[in-house]
Amino acid sequence: MKLLMHRVSLERQLVLVFAVVALFMGGYEFLKEWIFQGRLSSWQSHLITILVTAALAAAASAYTRQWLLLLQAKLNETRAVSKFNKTLLYATPSPMAVYSNDGQCVDANDAFVSLVGTSRGWLVEQHDISIWKEVGLEADFRQVQMTGNALSRELQDATMFGKEMWIEYLITPIHDADGHLLIQFTDLTTAKRLELGLRHLAFHDTLTNLPNRRLFFDRLEHALLNRKRSGARLAVLFIDLNRFKQVNDTHGHEAGDQMLIEASRRMQQVLRVSDTVARVGGDEFVVLLEMPNDADSAVWDSVSIVSDKIRQALVAPYQLGAITYMGSASIGIKIVTDNDATADEILQYADAAMYRDKQRHTAGA
């Protein structure tokens, strides 16, 4: 090979080098038809072919090794990321699960398994997103698939996995080649029950569990707005238990509490579910009645019937521990006829009517 190279002049060597460079640039046909045409002998052409082939083979081998190394590094990086993601998924205390684009669960952490109340194997083999169709989660899942945007929603009192609970879920697209989605659940049950308990305390009497003054006024104001729209008739009954202070002073507060609870129960029994009875004071109760837009006489007859039922229910004997007490009640009635009357004014009218009834009751006694 060295002897052959020595026989090639400097000009010829430059031509050979140029040929190698040109061939690397994809110009082999150009070399054949322009440079080699009539300028090189047969053995020189063969020599160039050998050199070019060797150079190409060496370059291809080097490029292949480099490509394989890069591919291996990418695979190692992918495995490391996948392992890290799985570790992160399993270590997260919040219930989380990964779903395929067809809605099948492909992996889940221990918190999610605990929430579901089953095994990870069952989740992967049998669980899919369709079980949440009725509560809307499946539709949200499909929406995230279409938009590629994360979506969060809260379900109140939803039946999940056979449990009554409140949850918040966040559906996030992973944006991988397979279109996986991540669903994270937050159990709000304890917090919601506490919230509802506090709300109930804020709007209900702690002894009788009836609506308190605040809730009664809220319902009365809504009823007044409805009356302006529909013309519905309203009536408010203000009720006071006669001689209740005597029960407290003679037999103690425990007996008085028993009487209040029993009186509340009796009024609820004679009223409709749509009616409101509330405790607004020590022994004072109010009732809100909503009726159709009938004539005044018909409305008054209906209210009088309800008032008589309440009065009869409250005069029945009370068994307060070891004692039997004969009770009675004074009732004031206000039928709403003025659209401009406020809730406070209506209650004041009913209260004044109750005191007039109490005076008649005292005079009759």
Report the catalytic residues.
283
CA 319 to chain centre: 47
For 131, which DSSP code?
G
Is residue 120 within 8 A of residue 108, CB to CB? The reply is yes
Find, among 118, 120, 117, 126, the residue nearest to 108 by Cα: 120
d(CA 254, CA 265): 17
Please count the other Cβ atoms lying within 10 Å of the Cβ belonging to residue 306: 20
Strands 329-336 and 233-241: antiparallel
How would you class 267 by CB atoms within 10 Å of its CB: exposed for 0-12, middle for 13-18, buried for 19 or more?
Answer: buried
| Contact status, residue 284 vs residue 215, Cβ threshold 8 Å | no
Burial class (CB in 10 A: 0-12, 13-18, 19+), 7: exposed
Contact 240/283 with Cβ under 8 angstroms?
yes
Reading the block at residue 295, the tokens are 């004539």
Nearest CA to 56 out of 90, 7, 23 is that of: 23
Spatial separation of the C-alpha atoms in residues 121 and 138, rounded to whole Å: 22
Helix, strand, or coil (residue 338): coil
CA distance 332 to 170: 54
Residues paired with residue 96 on neighbouring β-strands, in sequence order: 184
